[in-house]
Structure 1
Amino acid sequence: MKKSTFKIIIPAMFLSAISVANAQKLPGKQEVSVRAPADMKTDGKLTEWDGKLQAYNNATEIYYTISNDDAKLYLTIQCKYRDIVDKILRGGIALSINHIIKKNDPEAVTITYPVLRGGDMSDATNMFARATNIKNDGKDGPVPLGELNTLLQAKSKQINIKGIKDITDPSISVYNEEGIKAVSMFDKDLTYTYELAIPLKYLNLPATQFSYHVKINAPDETPMRHDGPPAPPMPMTATAPTDFWGEYTLAK
C-alpha cells in the first residue's frame, strides 16, 4: 500500500515543481506587444501558442497573453490551480480596456466571462470538485473530461458587457452577432484555459500605449438549490477579488 502511494505522490510533486519553476521564469506582466497567430481560434485550446503564454501574474496566479491582429484584441488565460479555477467559476474574469494609460478612464470597456449564477454555478463547481476528487463520497467517481467540458459549455452562455456604446444590453449570448467571442475549457490535466476575442471596432484604441485591467471577481453568492446539492464550500483563496494592471500597444 505504501509503495503504491509513493508512486502517485512523487510524480505529482515533481510536476508541481516544474510548474512553479516555469512560472518564475516569466514576467509578472506582459512586456511586449504580440501579433496573434494567423490561425488564431477562440476555442479554449492553446494550440496556436504551443502551450506557452507571455506572463505569469502572482497576484491572480494565472498565465496570460494579450495579443491582437488587424481586427480583434485577444486575451488568453491559463490556470493550473484548483482554488483559483473554483473562484473563476464562481465570479468570472473581468477584462477592462482603457483608452489611455491612466486607470480612471470613464469610458473604459469591461467584458466579464464566465457568468455563472444560481444553479448553473452550483452545477459547474460541484462537477469540477468531483473531477478533481475533492468531493468523492464513494457513490460518484471522477467525472470524465468530456462530461465536465460539456457541462461548462452548456452553463457558460452569457457574456456581460459594459462601456460599448453600440451594445446597449448589459448581457449578451456567447452566440452573439456582434463578434465578441468567449470560451473556456479544461484539458486532460484539468488545467483551465480561457479565451476572449473583442473586435477592435468597439474599443477605439489609440496607436500609442493604453492600459488594461484583469480581475478575478469574488463570488457574489453561494447558491442553494431545491433540486440538488449546494455548491461545495469556497476555498479560502476564493473569498476576495484579485487583479492586476498592465500596459499594451497594438502590434502592427
Structure 2
Amino acid sequence: MTLFYAFLLLYCTSLTTYAQKLPDLQTNSVSAPATTRIDGKNLEWNTFSAENKRTGLLYTIANDDKNLYLALKATSSEVINKIFAGGISFSINAKGKKREEDASTITYPLVVRNNANRGAGGQGGTSRQRMGQGRADQSQEQKDSTAFEQRKAQLAAIKEIKVKGFNITDSLISIYNEYGIKAVAKMDEQKAYFCEIAIPLAALEVAVNDKKEIAYQIKLNGRQGGNFTQRINSGVGGFGGGNNRGGFGGGNNNAAQQDLMVATDFWGKYIIQK
C-alpha cells in the first residue's frame, strides 16, 4: 500500500510538472537544431519556448550561424481560421525597436481562394446554396475532415511569400527565391497548423558575433476588406462548417467573426548568439 501511494504521488507530481504553462513571451536565445530543415514538418521542434495568449500561438525563435528561424503552431480552430484568412506577419527590427515602420516583414501563408463557385447571376447563388445544403447534411466530424483536406490543398498551392524591407524591391517573391528566405506550412495529422520560417542573418544585416538584440513582432492579420459575410456563408477560404456558421459554431459566432476581422499581435526581444 505504501508503494502504491508513493507511485501515486510521483504520478501526480509528474502531471503537475507537465502541465506547467509556457511563458507568454520567449525570453531566452535558442540554438537551432543542426538537423533543421524548412519543410513544414515538426520534427526538430518537440517543445516550444512560449505560448502567447493574445494570438493563441505556440512558437520558438532560434538561430544558428546563418539564419534566424521561427517555428510556430496553432491548434485552435478559430486561430487557424484567422491564419487562413490573412496570413501571419513576422517582422524583425534589427535596431531593437518595437516599430513596424523600421522592420523587415514576411507575410505567410498567402492563401489563394477558389472563386469558381461565384458564377454569374443566379447560378453562383444556386451553387452556394447547394454547397450549404450539402454541409448541413454532414456530421461535425465530416465537416472538420472536409475543412482539413481543403486547408492542406490550399497550403500545397502556395507559390509566393510577401515581403517588406530586406532591400528587396518586389513585394512578392517566389517560395523558391534567390534571397534564401524560406517559409513552409502544413496541417499535421492532429489537424493543427505548423509553420517554419528561415531568414538569412545577412538579409537582416546582423551577425552572430555581434550578440545583437533584435525586436520581433508576430501578427495574425485577419481578413482585410472584402465581403466577409458572403465568404463565410459560401464556405470559401477553408473556414469549413455548415449552417452558415463558418466553422465557428455555438453562441460565440459573432465574437469569432469580429475577431477574424481584427489583427492581433505581440512584440518581443531576442538576442542573436553564436
- Tell me if 1:136 matches 2:135: yes
- Mapping for residues 1-252 of structure 1, pairs under 5 Å: 22=19, 25-50=21-46, 52-104=47-99, 106-119=101-114, 136-138=135-137, 141=142, 143=145, 147-148=149-150, 150-165=152-167, 167-205=168-206, 207-220=211-224, 221-222=226-227, 230-231=236-237, 232=239, 233=246, 235-236=256-257, 237-252=259-274
* 2:198 alignment partner, SS class: strand
* TM-score between the two structures when normalised by the length of structure 1: 0.75
Once the two structures are superposed, what CA deviation does each residue of 1:111-151 show, in whole Å capped at 9, x if it has no partner?
1000124437x9xxxxxxxxxxxx93336945379944651
* 2:78 alignment partner, SS class: helix
Q: Which deviates more from structure 2 when the two are superposed, residues 239-248 or residues 229-238?
A: 229-238
Kept in 2, the 8 Å contact 1:90–1:219? The answer is yes
In the other structure, the counterpart of 2:125 is: none
Which amino acid counterpart does residue 164 of structure 1 have in structure 2? F
CA distance in 2, matches of 1:63, 1:230: 26
Which amino acid counterpart does residue 208 of structure 1 have in structure 2? K
CA distance in 1, matches of 2:74, 2:235: 26
Kept in 2, the 8 Å contact 1:99–1:105? The answer is no
Identity among equivalent positions (%) equals 38
Which segments of 5 or more consecutive residues in structure 1 lack a partner in the other structure? 1-17, 123-134
* 1:47 alignment partner, SS class: coil
Of the two, which has the highest radius of gyration?
2
Kept in 2, the 8 Å contact 1:71–1:199? The answer is yes
CA RMSD across the alignment: 2.8
Which segments of 5 or more consecutive residues in structure 2 lack a partner in the other structure? 1-14, 118-133, 240-245, 249-255
Which amino acid counterpart does residue 135 of structure 2 have in structure 1? N
